[in-house]
A and B are shown apart, each in its own frame.
Chain A
Amino acid sequence: AQSVTQLDSHVSVSEGTPVLLRCNYSSSYSPSLFWYVQHPNKGLQLLLKYTSAATLVKGINGFEAEFKKSETSFHLTKPSAHMSDAAEYFCVVSENQAGTALIFGKGTTLSVSS
């Protein structure tokens, strides 16, 4: 079965500094991978997705992620954090080869201080 492990439950950064949210995945075949963001008391919004095209994926709000098969990783990065980036971030993998049901990681809370 597919799974994802988000290595940090909480990450704190200062505004203007880089963001790194780490995610490792487990999959029997080439997975589809996603990052979602959830702001407090809001629904989940798709940040970016990897579906076996370019390994460096650019998403919304300046975020990007790199698929590294050798490391089974899909870390999320942003060069410069903004206060509005404070939220919960979920790394997600497709469950089966047809890629229909998604499995969510436990989430990483990103705090941004001024």
Chain B
Amino acid sequence: DAGVIQSPRHEVTEMGQEVTLRCKPISGHDYLFWYRQTMMRGLELLIYFNNNVPIDDSGMPEDRFSAKMPNASFSTLKIQPSEPRDSAVYFCASSSGSNYGYTFGSGTRLTVV
């Protein structure tokens, strides 16, 4: 298995633009998680899905952030409009239940200028 695949690896965008981050989980994993990592706040859980259904989105910072999981093999995290304070590394992870731990993708480094 290729693991959790995220794209793009790096994204530089101007303030106000829409940004879409993509994630392909490991086949057979029924949980998908989006995390954000910054120096100031560490790793923050943004949202997670179970069987494609959002379970907890309380970590989504504001309405500019939205996430979807249209099928078991694909999820997106969208920021519209983007702001400089959104600059961070965004990780996607998948799991078949957290007692097994998560498998993380390599992350997307987002820079909003």
Which residues from chain A sit less than 8 Å from chain B, CB to CB?
32, 34, 36, 42-46, 49, 51, 90, 94, 99-107
Give the residues from 85 to 106 in chain B that come closer than 8 angstroms, CB to CB, to chain A: 91, 93, 95, 97-106
Which residues in B have their C-beta under 8 angstroms from that of A34?
101
B interface SS class: strand
* Chain B interfacial positions (CB closer than 8 Å to A): 31, 33, 35, 42-43, 45, 48, 50, 55-56, 91, 93, 95, 97-107
Q: Is the CB of B98 within 8 A of A94?
A: yes
Whether A101 and B104, one on each chain, are in contact in the complex, defined by CB atoms closer than 8 angstroms, is: no
Smallest distance from the beta carbon of A63 to chain B beta carbons, Å? 14
B42: nearest chain-A partner, CB-CB: A106
Instruction: Contact check, A104 vs B99: say whether CB atoms are below 8 A apart.
Output: no
> A100: nearest residue on chain B (CB-CB)?
B98
Contact between chains at A43 and B104 (CB < 8 Å)? yes
Give the distance in Å from the alpha carbon of A44 to the alpha carbon of B43 in the complex: 11
